[in-house]
Amino acid sequence: MSTGKSRVWFITGASTGFGRRLAEAALAKGDRVVATARKPESVTDLQQQYPEHARAVRLDVTDQAQVKAAVQAAVDAFGRIDVLVNNAGYGLLGALEEVSDAQIRDQFETNLFGLLHVTRAVLPLLREQKSGHILNVTSVGGQVSFPGFGLYHGTKYAIEGISEALAKEVAGLGIKVTIVEPGGFKTDFATRSLASAERIPAYSPVYEALLKAFENAVFGDPARAAEAMIQAVDSEEPPLRLALGADALHLIRAKFQSELEEYQRWEPVTVATAYENPSEGAMDFKSLLG
């Protein structure tokens, strides 16, 4: 979406981390930003610094009334939305047996259903404009799963699948979709933005292995991640998926290679399920893959 005009960004979860850095970077480039957060006072400094280009708006993505009001506030302020960034979310640490029903529901309400509420509220505007770009921030955890984060991964895998289908649905409407898959970055994900389940001692080895894997981790710079996202939005041919960080790319590549090898090992069993007459039950999916 490379244009000479000032774009309007609508960013959820703009108080910290990627959302905050992206809002700052877009404003520094002269774009306009609707920075949303559950506590708008956490982003009012942006509006004070850029009174003509920024708006601080209250938004709990799980509250559909607030979603509608926030989108309307963006339109009232700037007349349009060009880039939607679905960034709001948090992590949930706990083995499947450990997490409570309430924790599971809250995780999906915020990370998945909140994203859907916002996207469905903004899509009519983008469709009418015949232009726009949706950035859905998932994680390397939308491609690779770690023990102890199963429910978090579930939300991110769901977003990946929905986003891939959405990209095909809106391709003819002038709307782009990019799935952003960050690896490890210096944000508050592992502290303030992480909920934890009550531990069951039998799962202690899982957490010990997890901690050992991360003890020598090298984290990326959220400001550079924001610049990478802006570069994707600037591109005439933005990617469907954008991994951020060498660690993310390494993990995704290793997983795909491992999966491909396993599929190949089991290929004789897989193809043996076909009808003896190949024409029976055949269906051509190639046209749907894009």
Q: Which residues are catalytic?
A: 152
Please give the Cα distance from 185 to 143 (Å, whole number): 17
Indicate the helix (H) or strand (E) that contains 8: strand 8-11
135: nearest Cα among 235, 47, 56, 221: 235
Pairing status of strand 32-37 against strand 8-11: parallel
Please give the Cα distance from 97 to 108 (Å, whole number): 17
Contacts of 112 (CB under 8 A, 6+ apart): 155, 158, 159
E strand residue ranges, 49-204: 54-58, 83-86, 91-93, 132-137, 175-182, 194-196
Contacts of 178 (CB under 8 A, 6+ apart): 133, 134, 135, 136, 232, 233, 238, 239, 240, 241, 242
Indicate the helix (H) or strand (E) that contains 37: strand 32-37
Radius of gyration, alpha carbons of the chain: 21
User: What backbone torsions phi and psi does residue 25 show, to the nearest 5 degrees?
Assistant: -65, -40
What angle in degrees, to the nearest 10, is found between the helix axes of 64-78 and 114-129?
30
CB atoms within 10 A of CB 213: 11
